[in-house]
Amino acid sequence: MAIDGRTNVHGDERVAHSSAVWSGKPGWDTDPELVHANIILAARDSTFAALLRLDPRFKIIFEDIQTDVFQPR
């Protein structure tokens, strides 16, 4: 789910949904955009990156001190 800081473009509902997914709220793992993603970039120290590291559906294809890049297996 790619969202930048322009809430006036994305709308409150989409921003709230994105926040829920990225913070690992229930249902994060069945989000349609996540399920169909070809690549996922996440801040290395984020809750979302930690969840993806534990999820067998995804593998890390790149990592540095700031970012983890995941791809579906």
Convert the pLDDT of each residue in 6-64 to its tens digit: 666 767 888 888 888 889 999 999 999 899 999 999 999 999 999 999 999 999 999 99
3 within a domain of the structure (yes/no): no
Torsion sign (Cα): 53, 42, 67, 50: negative
pLDDT for the residue 14: 82
Question: CA separation (Å) from 23 to 19, 36, 38, 51, 73?
Answer: 6, 19, 20, 9, 22
37 within a domain of the structure (yes/no): yes
Number of Cβ within 10 Å of residue 47's Cβ equals 14
Nearest to 40 by CA among 14, 72, 7, 3: 72
pTM: 0.83
24 within a domain of the structure (yes/no): yes
21 within a domain of the structure (yes/no): yes
The whole domain housing 68 covers: 9-72
30 within a domain of the structure (yes/no): yes
Number of Cβ within 10 Å of residue 55's Cβ equals 15
Count of domains for the chain: 1
18 within a domain of the structure (yes/no): yes
Q: What DSSP designation does 30 have?
A: G
66 within a domain of the structure (yes/no): yes
Please report which confidence band the pLDDT of residue 1 belongs to, taking 50, 70 and 90 as the band edges.
low
51 within a domain of the structure (yes/no): yes
